[in-house]
Structure 1
Amino acid sequence: MSSTITYTVSGMSCGHCEKAISEEVSALAGVTGVAADATAGTVTISSAAPLDDEQVRAAIDEAGYELVGRSA
């Protein structure tokens, strides 16, 4: 079962930010697509199976940003 979740991320302000987050999140197992949007402050992740929010949080932290929330 595939899923798509949008997370709110604090600290993104440019294309470099989007790329950094996309690269870290794309490395998570099962991720099939990532769309980071600095203007909206969101990252939308598509995956083959439901993702663990803590893994997503860790990937975003690794990129240097903060996950602040999620919506389905």
Structure 2
Amino acid sequence: MTTTEFQVTGMTCGHCQLSIREEVQKVAGVESVEVSHQTGKLVVTGDGTVDDATIIAAVQEAGYQGVRSA
């Protein structure tokens, strides 16, 4: 299992969180998703086959911008 943290911009409410969670959970290999509009953090745990670009694309599909946290 690998855990990766991303910073997401544009979230303002619980619905935003839900939209992102739903899109990221669709990605093959994702095991769990934690997202908070209050902190702007997205934490993804997966089986090690998921790359950052795929997660960022899922965030964009939900209508937001994301980058991997340093």
Q: TM-score, structure 2 length as denominator?
A: 0.93
SS of residue matched to 2:53: helix
* Distance in 2 (alpha carbons) for counterparts of 1:58 and 1:31: 14
Tell me the equivalent position of 1:24: 23
Could you tell me how far 1:68 is from its partner in structure 2? 3.1
Listed one character per residue, the Cα deviations across residues 3-37 of structure 1 (whole Å, up to 9, x for unaligned) are 01110000011100000000000000110000110
* Distance in 1 (alpha carbons) for counterparts of 2:19 and 2:42: 11
Tell me the equivalent position of 2:56: 57
SS of residue matched to 1:46: strand
Amino acid of the residue matched to residue 22 of structure 1?
A: R
User: What 5-or-longer segments of structure 2 have no aligned partner?
Assistant: none
Amino acid of the residue matched to residue 30 of structure 1?
A: G
- Superposition misfits of 4+ residues, deviation over 6 angstroms: none
User: What 5-or-longer segments of structure 1 have no aligned partner?
Assistant: none
Q: CA RMSD in A?
A: 1.1
Equivalenced residues, count: 70
Comparing 50-59 and 28-37, the one that deviates more: 50-59
